[in-house]
């Protein structure tokens, strides 16, 4: 529990909650929108905000997810909820606003002077409940329109909640906005394969189709399924045969771009096929899921509801067992391969936690993504800034540097470790090893161009910096350790240079130097008395 942001392969999950199994709210944002996230803010375990800067809109959007107290809650609790919600709107909201969630209230029919906030299509003519009245006051005060009432739908496509006894249906989940003309439709999702008495409400936001950009190198860091590496390598080997023809008159940068593009596009083509999560489940679990889906789509009866509840309980237990079995198999596999479980843990988690908030130099907490990036950038720029004045000395060249041989490149490729996170180019060591025969001549040529021209590809100057939390206050940037993820091709080049100069450097070391030397250890200088 608590407040956290976790990046999964396909989505970003934000969650805030303090009461297990009861009050909590959050957002699940698709991965392609990650770069547009301006920030998350948790007001309470009933109210959370997401600020988005969508590319086709001049003004940013604020999406507020809520979970209102029920009708049985005392007026003080419900009143405090709406007080917090109004304060959140006034303090954090941008110009475009969406408020959505379970309001636990019945709004009834549109009344006089409510045309601006309620459309003509309401679900029921029953009297407005206490929570419904408070919802209407909130909407009126903030000039918000209830989208559920704007579009004409059949009655069976409007209700969002079914009573536990299965006899009563109502509309208590709403989506409100101050820009209702931007939304062309709203729908209730039927037959969702989950054990819940609520139906999901989905709204569509207008978006102008952006122009197709010019083809460019994909710099997306793609997670590769290890079972597809051989398939990717075979496809890539055939594409690399065109290197000489397609880069005949290209310079070093263009040659490098060509190679990076071929590797990245081929990897992405084969990585589009996502792993089917059903493959991790036993046949029994899959059959239970299918049975529940059939029951949910069938006629709603007391017998069906009891059967759905029973099957859901069985599904939960079976999924837990299947996950445990999958974890054990993964751990055993990595123990056999490496003798440890570190890489198994990395494969099983398959997610990254985001920093929720960060303190600036004045101690003020910032939640915006760009604000957090700036705090980290300023901190490490200052930390690594070198104020020492250095004189550049031009040393005469007494001999030419020998050309790098293909054998040196192949040896350096072989020394790279597997299962290491790649740099910004997304090129993994596993792919380079599997395509060594085809890629080594190309890399050798590029490396020799670099040595002769003393110009490196611009990709080698870029890295992804990951902050690893150490201990203390999560909001203090000083409590994080930075790790730089650099291009694996650059590491291969550096390995070749190190192999060449390593012996010379080692020969110049004094005998007293034992640390950081091959075949030596600081233990060589520890004497037992």
Taking residues 219-236, what's their average pLDDT? 65
Is a pLDDT exceeding 60 seen at residue 125?
A: yes
Taking residues 224-233, what's their average pLDDT? 67
Last residue of a domain, one of 323, 350, 377: 350
Measure Cα distances from 337 to 174, 289, 388, 419 in Å: 52, 35, 47, 12
> Are residue 121 and residue 6 in the same domain, yes or no?
yes
Burial label for 20, CB within 10 Å (0-12, 13-18, 19+), is exposed
In 125-198, where does DSSP find H-type helix? 130-142
> Are residue 181 and residue 38 in the same domain, yes or no?
yes
Residue 278, pLDDT score: 60
Closest CA to 342 of 225, 263, 397, 421: 421
Task: Give the pLDDT band (50/70/90) at residue 333.
Answer: confident
In 272-405, where does DSSP find H-type helix? 283-297, 302-338, 342-349, 369-383
| Least confident among 112-121, 200-209, 275-284, 488-497 | 275-284
Task: Give the pLDDT band (50/70/90) at residue 83.
Answer: very high
Q: Does some domain include residue 257?
A: yes
Residues 6+ apart with CB under 8 A from 338: none
Residue 293, pLDDT score: 87
> Are residue 314 and residue 185 in the same domain, yes or no?
no
Last residue of a domain, one of 350, 378, 410: 350
d(CA 45, CA 22): 9
Q: Does some domain include residue 219?
A: no
Question: Which is it for the CA torsion 209, 213, 218, 219, positive or negative?
Answer: negative
**Which two structure tokens, joined as six digits, stand for 331?**
């751990």
Percent of the chain at pLDDT exceeding 90: 43
In 5-105, where does DSSP find H-type helix? 75-92
Using DSSP, state whether 204 is helix, strand or coil.
strand
Burial label for 475, CB within 10 Å (0-12, 13-18, 19+), is middle
> Are residue 51 and residue 186 in the same domain, yes or no?
yes
Residue 280, pLDDT score: 79
Residue 212, pLDDT score: 44
Q: Are 351 and 7 in contact (CB under 8 A)?
A: yes
CATH number of the domain encompassing residue 118: 3.60.10.10
Number of domains present in the structure of the chain: 3
> Are residue 101 and residue 242 in the same domain, yes or no?
no
Q: Does some domain include residue 222?
A: no
Is a pLDDT exceeding 90 seen at residue 269?
A: no
pLDDT digits (tens, 9 = 90+) for 62-74: 999 999 999 999 9
Structural domain of 314? 277-350
Taking residues 269-291, what's their average pLDDT? 75
Q: Does some domain include residue 127?
A: yes
Residue 242, pLDDT score: 84
Closest CA to 420 of 411, 410, 432: 432
> Are residue 236 and residue 291 in the same domain, yes or no?
no
pLDDT digits (tens, 9 = 90+) for 431-458: 899 888 889 999 999 999 999 888 999 9
| HSE-up of residue 392 (Cα within 13 Å, Cβ side) | 1
pLDDT digits (tens, 9 = 90+) for 359-401: 999 999 888 888 998 999 999 888 877 666 667 777 676 677 8
> Are residue 414 and residue 513 in the same domain, yes or no?
yes
**Which two structure tokens, joined as six digits, stand for 512?**
């007293």
Q: pTM above the 0.75 mark?
A: no
Residues 6+ apart with CB under 8 A from 425: 219, 260, 263, 264, 459, 487, 488, 489
> Are residue 292 and residue 366 in the same domain, yes or no?
no
Q: Does some domain include residue 501?
A: yes
Average pLDDT of the chain to the nearest whole number: 86
Taking residues 219-231, what's their average pLDDT? 59
> Are residue 346 and residue 360 in the same domain, yes or no?
no
pLDDT digits (tens, 9 = 90+) for 19-62: 877 789 999 999 999 999 999 999 999 999 999 999 888 899 99
> Are residue 296 and residue 373 in the same domain, yes or no?
no
| Least confident among 166-175, 192-201, 461-470, 520-529 | 520-529
**Which two structure tokens, joined as six digits, stand for 447?**
């490396």
Residue 79, pLDDT score: 92
Q: Does some domain include residue 137?
A: yes
Taking residues 196-225, what's their average pLDDT? 64
Residue 480, pLDDT score: 93
Residue 425, pLDDT score: 85
Q: Are 201 and 160 in contact (CB under 8 A)?
A: yes
Q: Are 357 and 40 in contact (CB under 8 A)?
A: no
> Are residue 195 and residue 317 in the same domain, yes or no?
no
> Are residue 449 and residue 508 in the same domain, yes or no?
yes
Q: Does some domain include residue 216?
A: no
Residue 529, pLDDT score: 43
Residue 44, pLDDT score: 93
Question: Which is it for the CA torsion 296, 302, 303, 308, positive or negative?
Answer: positive
| HSE-up of residue 251 (Cα within 13 Å, Cβ side) | 8
Q: Does some domain include residue 415?
A: yes
């Amino acid at each position: 529990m608590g407040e956290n942001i976790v990046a999964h392969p396909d989505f970003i999950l934000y969650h805030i909650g303090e009461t297990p199994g009861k009050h909590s709210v959050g957002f699940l944002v698709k991965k392609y929108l990650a770069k547009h996230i301006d920030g998350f803010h948790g007001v309470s375990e009933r109210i959370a905000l997401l600020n988005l800067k969508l590319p086709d809109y001049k003004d940013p959007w604020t999406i507020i997810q809520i979970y209102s107290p029920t009708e049985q809650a005392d007026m003080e609790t419900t009143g405090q909820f709406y007080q917090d919600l109004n304060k959140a709107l006034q303090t954090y909201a941008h110009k475009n606003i969406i408020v959505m969630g379970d309001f636990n209230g019945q709004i009834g029919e549109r009344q006089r002077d409510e045309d601006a906030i309620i459309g003509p299509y309401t679900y029921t003519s029953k009297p407005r409940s206490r929570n419904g009245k408070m919802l209407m006051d909130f909407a009126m005060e903030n000039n918000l329109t209830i989208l559920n009432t704007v579009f004409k739908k059949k009655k069976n496509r409007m209700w969002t909640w079914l009573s536990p006894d299965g006899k009563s249906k109502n509309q208590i989940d709403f989506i409100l906005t101050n820009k209702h003309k931007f939304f062309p439709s709203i729908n209730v999702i039927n037959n969702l394969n989950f054990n819940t008495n609520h139906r999901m409400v989905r709204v569509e936001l207008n978006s102008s189709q952006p122009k197709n950009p010019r083809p460019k190198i994909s710099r997306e860091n793609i997670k590769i399924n290890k079972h597809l590496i051989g398939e990717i390598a075979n496809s890539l080997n055939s594409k690399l045969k065109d290197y000489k023809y397609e880069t005949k008159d290209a310079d070093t940068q263009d040659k490098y771009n060509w190679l990076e593009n071929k590797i990245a596009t081929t990897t992405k083509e084969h990585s589009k096929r996502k792993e089917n999560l059903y493959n991790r489940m036993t046949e029994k679990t899959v059959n239970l899921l299918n049975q529940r889906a059939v029951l949910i789509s069938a006629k709603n009866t007391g017998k069906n509801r009891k059967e759905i509840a029973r099957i859901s309980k069985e599904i939960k237990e079976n999924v837990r067992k299947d996950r445990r079995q999958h974890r054990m198999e993964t751990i055993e596999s990595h123990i056999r391969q490496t003798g440890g479980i570190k890489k198994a843990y990395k494969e099983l988690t398959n997610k990254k936690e985001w920093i929720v908030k960060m303190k600036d130099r004045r101690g003020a907490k910032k939640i915006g993504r760009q604000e957090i990036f700036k705090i980290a950038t300023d901190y490490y720029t200052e930390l690594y800034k070198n104020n020492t004045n250095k004189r550049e000395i031009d040393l005469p060249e007494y001999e030419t540097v020998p050309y790098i041989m293909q054998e040196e490149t192949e040896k350096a490729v072989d020394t790279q470790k597997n299962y290491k996170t790649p740099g910004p180019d997304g090129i993994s060591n596993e792919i380079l090893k599997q395509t060594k025969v085809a890629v080594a001549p190309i890399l050798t040529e590029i490396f020799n161009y670099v040595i002769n021209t003393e110009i490196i590809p611009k990709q080698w100057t870029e890295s992804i910096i990951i902050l690893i939390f150490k201990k203390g206050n999560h909001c203090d940037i000083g409590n994080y350790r930075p790790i730089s993820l650099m291009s694996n091709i650059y590491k291969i080049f550096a390995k070749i240079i190190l192999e060449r100069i390593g012996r010379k450097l080692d020969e110049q070391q004094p005998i007293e130097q034992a640390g950081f030397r091959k075949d030596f250890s600081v233990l060589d200088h520890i004497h037992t008395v």
